[in-house]
Amino acid sequence: MVENVKELIKAHEGIEYEVYLDNENSTKVPYEIIEEMLPYYNKQGYGNPTLTHKPGWEAFEIIMQSAQKIAKFMGAGIPEEITFTPGVTEANNLAIMGLALSKRNTRKRIVISEIEPLSVLHVSKMLEKFGFFVSKIQVDDEGFINLEKLKETVNRDVCLVSLATVNNEIGTIQPIKEAVEIVKDINADTIFHTDASDAFGRIELNVQNLNVDLASISSYKILGPRGIGALYTKEGLEIERILEGQIGTQKLWPGIENTPLIVGFTKASELTFQNFENKIKNITGLRDKLKEGIFERVSDVKLNGPGNEKRSPDNLNISILRCEGEALTIELSLRGVYVSSGSACSRRLLQPSHVLVAIGRKFSEAHGSILMKITRTHKKEDVDYVLEQVPKAVNRIRGIVGSTGVD
């Protein structure tokens, strides 16, 4: 396996132009963010923020300042509502398990959608072992939840509803405000959680206006470092820790806070929200140019998810018929274009994305899908290069398929 990987990497030698579009799975961290982080490894704030000495006080101060800034960017009220976690997976687990297993919770029903991120699906499934019953709301062919079905499903026995603000695969922007109103009208005590990691930095996000109780966000999805995320917990809401250990400055997540990563997350947030409207306008323009260019140059292409303003501005997910997605990602990689195929979190499994299946895509369509995400670092020249390479890659894959008689 290692030798095969070495050969694949070596095959990329000589590529003069590269465009990284696999920003669902990981991102390149801009140098200005790395430079912001470096001093906190060995010059300042490298101490344990709970200890009474200068490096500890410096760490404590920067963590509190960061929490205040992240709270502002999320539309939260106070920095104490922000808990830093190692990522959005941990934030989702903390939100859902922390609420469900709370001593104060006596209800055993949870409601999610059928296209939630795997961290939400899996932790909900795990809670069934503890006697919880999980209901999944269906979605339409663009990935929108059925609000009438939500109204029918939620009752006074439901302790938690978890619906992502933006779907991470197909970019569907859910009507979260309306969903919260439905849930709270039925039972004001039902807690509402949203995975907002694909909304933060792409659309306007204000947790107070949405009236959600819990919201998870991620650093790497806004070009920050991996290994850091955050959970918003509305003031007054009490949930349980799901891990035990040394308690630092945060009561919900034990252990020593990773100050450099928190600094990087905060810097990425600041850069994201500077001239936010102009950045989103540019990202949307590049995404639309990419979409229109592919549809003009490649036959038999389907758009996965909504095709209007209810789609996240960075997201392009398409199915290319008669072209297996995994083969296409490899062919594009050899041309310096890096994308992902199918579900980002299950790409090594021989099964189609649960999201694409839920919106009615056939097996072949789901396996022929590729996901591309535009960021604020991309330029027109990047899109032009991708539009040169995609038709060539598709023609090569389809030519191989045709020559083998397999379709």
Kindly list the catalytic residues. 345
d(CA 16, CA 24): 24
Q: Token pair for residue 148? A: 């009438």
d(CA 371, CA 352): 13
d(CA 330, CA 8): 9
What are φ and ψ of residue 171, in 5° steps?
Answer: 75, 10
What's the start-to-end Cα distance of the chain, in Å? 28
Q: Token pair for residue 93? A: 């687990």
Contacts of 175 (CB under 8 A, 6+ apart): 144, 145, 147
Residue 361 to residues 202, 269, 297, 356, 392, Cα–Cα distance (Å) = 26, 35, 22, 5, 25
> Count of CB atoms within 10 A of residue 181's CB?
15
DSSP string, 219-288: SGGGT--SS-EEEEE-TT-----SS-S---S-SSS-S---HHHHHHHHHHHHHHHTTHHHHHHHHHHHHH
- For residue 94, the Cα-to-chain-centroid distance in whole angstroms is 16
Residue 315 to residues 50, 196, 328, 395, Cα–Cα distance (Å) = 41, 15, 18, 24
Containing 43, the helix (H) or strand (E) segment is none
User: Are the CB atoms for 177 and 210 separated by under 8 Å?
Assistant: yes
d(CA 85, CA 371): 27
Question: Please, what is the Cα angle at 10 between 8 and 13, to 5 degrees?
Answer: 120
Per the DSSP assignment, residues forming a β-bridge with 82 are: 232
d(CA 49, CA 365): 51
